[in-house]
């Protein structure tokens, strides 16, 4: 039951990410939701097969680094453009 719930969480997170929202913050939150569901899937997998949970700490470390990097991109985008809309942000213009 927990595995089915975490797979549904992953699918909802992917749906929100793919649906092309106009705010960067919504996209970052959906990525964090996907990481949380992957953490839950990994935890269930390691618990069922009675493996060590050391890899979960590595996964959490990388997910925290990913979240901090996303927030720093969001802050720099708001400082330079004044908002977090995708329409006003062009990657080709430096």
The reply to whether 70 falls in a domain is yes
User: What pTM value is reported for the model?
Assistant: 0.85
Domain-located, residue 90: no
Res 5: pLDDT: 92
Residue 16 forms part of a structural domain: yes
- What phi-psi label fits residue 21: left (phi over 0), alpha (psi between -120 and 50 degrees) or beta? beta
In the chain, the number of structural domains is: 1
For residue 94, being part of any structural domain is answered with no
Give the residue numbers spanning the domain of 40.
2-81
Which CATH number is 55's domain given? 1.10.287.3510
Asked if the structure places residue 25 within a domain, the reply is yes
CB 28 within 8 A of CB 36: no
User: pLDDT tens for residues 36-82?
Assistant: 999 999 999 999 999 999 999 999 999 999 999 999 988 988 888 78
pLDDT at 93 over 60: no
């Amino acid at each position: 039951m927990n595995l089915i719930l975490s797979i549904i969480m992953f699918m909802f997170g992917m749906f929100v990410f793919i649906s092309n929202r106009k705010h960067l913050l919504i996209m970052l939150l959906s990525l964090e939701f996907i990481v949380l569901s992957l953490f839950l899937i990994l935890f269930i997998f390691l618990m069922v097969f009675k493996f060590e949970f050391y890899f979960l700490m590595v996964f959490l470390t990388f997910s925290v680094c990913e979240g901090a990097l996303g927030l720093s991109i969001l802050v720099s985008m708001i400082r330079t453009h004044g908002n977090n809309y995708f329409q006003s942000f062009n990657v080709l213009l430096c």
